[in-house]
Amino acid sequence: MAEFKNQWRGYNKQEVDLKIEDFNRTITNQQQQIEQLQSEIQSLQQTNTELTKQITIQEKTNEEIARLALKEASDLIEKAKRNANMILKESMEYVRGLSKDVDSIKQEALDFRANVVKLSEEMIETIDKSEIFSLIKEEQENKYDEGESS
């Protein structure tokens, strides 16, 4: 609180006027500060509102990106499964075909062997029935008979 000197008929008018002017300047400065701070508060509130909106938009965008990424990943997995199943099916069909080919080759080998055996038997039979072999056989029998008689 300000103290004023007493004078005849009250306080010193000049001191009081100076003090009032000082108070007025202080009030004016504080009002300007209040207005400036209110303006700053308003600006900060607007900035806060904008940042909140941006964060909300970013969160929604991130959620949408994550959802789309999961969907795409799921689609890729399904496509990979379908491709894997198709490849597996084709491989199984190929293996079955190879198995049939192997079975066919085995049968051909057995048939070939049977034909070779048949041809060999026919050749032996032909040789056995040939004149030369009959003569050779007859000659051997004569030698055998001579060997027994001696």
Provide CB contacts within 8 A for 133, sequence distance 6+: 127
Span 81-101, pLDDT tens digits: 999 999 999 999 999 999 999
- The region of weakest confidence among 19-28, 105-114, 128-137 is 128-137
- In percent, the amount of the chain with pLDDT more than 90 equals 69
Contact criterion met (CB below 8 Å) for 16 and 5: no
Whether residue 131 is predicted with pLDDT greater than 70 in this model: the reply is: yes
Whether residue 10 is predicted with pLDDT greater than 80 in this model: the reply is: no
* pLDDT the model gives residue 133: 77
Q: The pTM is what?
A: 0.44
Span 13-61, pLDDT tens digits: 888 889 899 999 999 999 999 999 999 999 999 999 999 999 999 999 9
Q: Is 10 helix (H, G, I), strand (E, B) or coil?
A: strand
Whether residue 2 is predicted with pLDDT greater than 80 in this model: the reply is: no
| CA distance linking residue 53 with residue 62, whole number of Å | 14
* pLDDT the model gives residue 13: 80
Provide CB contacts within 8 A for 5, sequence distance 6+: 11, 12, 15
What's the length of the chain? Answer: 150
